[in-house]
Every structure is written in structure tokens, then in C-alpha cells.
């Protein structure tokens, strides 16, 4: 960590653009946060609306929202939620859900 701060101060001592200086400071703050909290930044929480049904074409009988990390494919996010006799019909939008998926 001390090495990062030394590099930051050396870079700021030279003539650097504001953009680069802010980027270096952001990296230093992020590294300090990860070090102090004992964890790195995790992938954002994502909500995927899953639609399930029967028949062909799929006759939607049930929808459910699932919460995952990152942006998996709708099939991967919804596959564990299917119940016997129904299949995955498709998904709505995937979106970030910092406060959790809406009910």
C-alpha cells in the first residue's frame, strides 16, 4: 500500500493531466477501501425477470424476479427457478438492483 501512495505522490509531483491525477487518486482510494474492509468490490446485483409457462408457444403462467451478481444470461439466471411441468419462456430486462429486486 505504501508503494501505491509513493507512486501516486510521484505522479502528482510531475506535470500530469487532471484526468490522470483523478484516476490515480480513485485507484488509491479504491485500494485503500478494499484493504480496510477486507474485501474487493463485488459484481453489481442484477435483477432478471423470469417468465415460466407450459405449451407451445409458451403460455406464461408465472413470472418471478431473480437476483444475481453480474449479468448472466437470462437462461442461466432463471433455470434453477423452473418447476416440474413448466419451462422458461423468456425474460424481461436485466437491470442493476442496488436495493434488491422489486417484489
- Given a contact cutoff of 8 angstroms between Cβ atoms, the answer to whether 40 and 34 are in contact is yes
Q: Are residues 33 and 49 in the same domain?
A: no
Burial 66-78 (b: 16+ CB within 10 A, else e): bebeeebebeebb
Most confidently modeled of 7-16, 20-29, 85-94? Answer: 85-94
Q: Are residues 52 and 33 in the same domain?
A: no
Minimal CA–CA distance to 71: which of 41, 38, 93?
93
Residue 62: is its pLDDT beyond 80?
Answer: yes
Rounded Cα distance, 6 and 11, in Å: 9
Rounded Cα distance, 11 and 2, in Å: 14
Q: Are residues 91 and 50 in the same domain?
A: yes
Residue 101 maps to a domain: no
Domain extent at residue 51: 45-96
Rounded Cα distance, 76 and 94, in Å: 12
pTM for this one? 0.51
Q: How many domains does the chain have?
A: 2
For 28-58, what is each residue's pLDDT tens digit? Answer: 666 555 556 555 556 778 898 899 999 888 9
Q: Are residues 61 and 18 in the same domain?
A: no
Give the mean pLDDT of 51-67: 90
Find residue 54's DSSP bridge partners.
59
Amino acid at each position: 500500500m505504501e508503494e501505491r501512495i509513493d507512486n501516486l505522490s510521484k505522479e502528482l509531483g510531475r506535470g500530469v493531466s487532471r484526468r490522470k491525477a483523478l484516476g490515480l487518486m480513485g485507484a488509491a482510494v479504491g485500494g485503500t477501501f478494499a484493504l480496510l474492509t477486507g474485501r474487493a468490490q463485488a459484481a453489481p446485483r442484477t435483477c432478471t425477470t423470469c417468465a415460466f409457462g407450459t405449451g407451445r408457444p409458451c403460455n406464461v403462467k408465472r413470472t418471478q424476479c431473480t437476483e444475481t451478481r453480474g449479468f448472466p444470461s437470462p437462461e442461466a439466471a432463471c433455470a434453477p427457478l423452473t418447476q416440474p411441468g413448466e419451462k422458461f419462456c423468456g425474460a424481461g430486462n436485466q437491470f442493476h438492483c442496488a436495493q434488491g429486486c422489486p417484489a
